[in-house]
Structure 1
């Protein structure tokens, strides 16, 4: 029995069924048919999201005003205890000088003590010990040269590294400028492409910042370090520039 039949109708001819039952069946069938067509029509007419993805780049240079220095004390001797004591005494004098000059970010970066061997007839004999202590600090570039000379006079005998850096405030400002330039670059690229195609931007769907990291310090070439350490005159120290780069990716609906 279908949904329109009654028990007494099944025994009669369809031509004798009530007109209201026939009309109800037609109405329900029409409604179901239209509803199905309506779902298909809505799916077919759903708009396709059209997007354009562009990546802009920004670059900002900032002058370095600080110098990061790695100074070391190295001592050779026959007895390990004697070597270590000399390293400690000379390093303490260097650290006291650096603290008196109010350097920034003073820290110990390495302490070593190891034996030296003489290899003869296939045997390794200890002939002495080598000890070292390395400290790192930052100071204004214009004061770095005289301070290095004073530290060497106080007991340091190694210049293991010199790097130039900008202040945190200057790097933060440069980072914001690089991000702004990258965003503007991405917008200009999108506008150019859409104008050529006679299209217009509608809204930004997503934004991704791909980079605006702090750049690495600028190292002084090794040859320059050696010549400066061996010079009899005051050690010259000249900084440079750090470059902050940023990339911004925009997804734009058109």
Structure 2
């Protein structure tokens, strides 16, 4: 039989004394911190004191690339004759363009449509129209000359010309527009807060809207042959400016 000696009894009393302390410590560790009513009210007020402001930035840069869409259009009595004529002229035009300093040459559409006339409430087939459209990019300074030469190579119509800046110039302008929009948002916030006798404390939120790059409106010429037959030595082509816009929204605690 095990006897409880005074030494063992003393050790048991020591463990019983330590156990409540350990339990209390564990409970204190697991309990979430409680904010005082004043601290809770101050935290709520800080969340409410947020100013949201949107700044705008715009960078204007010159366009240096012309995006040209032109076409070969042929009319005739039969579908076969029209298609063959259009194919030959289109081949001559594309062969010419491939020798020029252009980029992104592509065919954007080929059509063969019947033409009708209406007489005495009757629909009469009078022929066919075939169209082959191509698109390419070229430096603005060379656009006028290539339009004139395209007529001799077989082009009969230009659908439109649009202008844009280079990808590198657009990327640089986008960054500058974002910087300008950020400064504009900060300036607006300072103007409002200064008027109210307040000041910026911290920026707690940032929203960046992608910079937009709208193209200038297209220039349309209905007849290249009329231009080529005029007294103008070279068709004048002038690129416009392109605006790069950006918006930045800041949420500012004051």
- The bucket for the TM-score relative to the shorter chain is 0.7 to 0.9
TM-score, normalising length from structure 2? 0.79
String of CA shifts for 1:59-113, please: whole Å, max 9, x gaps.
1001111111111100000110110111111111111111111311111122111
**Shift in alpha-carbon separation, 1:102–1:45, aligned structure 2, 3 A:** closer
> 2:18 maps to which residue?
none
Alignment partner, residue 44 of structure 2? 47
- Whether contact under 8 Å (1:87, 1:131) holds in the other structure is yes
Q: 1:159 to 1:41 in 2, by over 3 A?
A: closer
Structure 1 stretch displaced more, 188-197 or 219-228: 219-228
3-state secondary structure, aligned to 1:200: coil
What is the aligned partner in structure 1 of residue 87 from structure 2? 88
The 3-state SS of whatever aligns with 1:101 is coil
Moved over 3 A (4+): 37-47, 221-230
Deviates further, 163-172 or 206-215: 206-215
Q: How does 1:1-254 map to 2 (within 5 A)?
A: 43-44=40-41, 46-48=43-45, 49=47, 50-220=49-219, 228=227, 231-232=230-231, 233-254=233-254
Distance verdict in 2 for CA 1:245–1:220, change over 3 Å: same
- Contact 2:177 2:245 (8 Å CA) reproduced: yes
Larger Rg: 1
User: Mind listing any 5+ residue stretches in structure 2 that lack a counterpart?
Assistant: 1-33
Change (3 A) 1:251 1:229: farther
Higher mean C-alpha displacement, 122-131 vs 51-60: 122-131
CA distance in 1, matches of 2:223, 2:55: 38
Consecutive unaligned residues of structure 1, counting only runs of 5 or more, are 1-36
> Which has the higher mean CA deviation after the structures are superposed, 41-50 or 201-210?
41-50
Q: How far apart are residue 120 of structure 1 and its match?
A: 2.0
RMSD value, Cα: 2.3
Q: Distance in 1 between matches of 2:172 and 2:223?
A: 31
Q: Aligned with 2:170: secondary structure?
A: helix
Residue 224 and residue 79 in structure 1: after superposition, are their counterparts in 2 closer, same or farther (change >3 A)?
A: closer
Indicate conservation of the 8 Å contact 1:116/1:129, yes or no: yes
Q: How many correspondences in the alignment?
A: 218
The change in CA–CA distance for 1:55 and 1:38 in structure 2 (over 3 A counts) is closer
What's 1:33 paired with? none
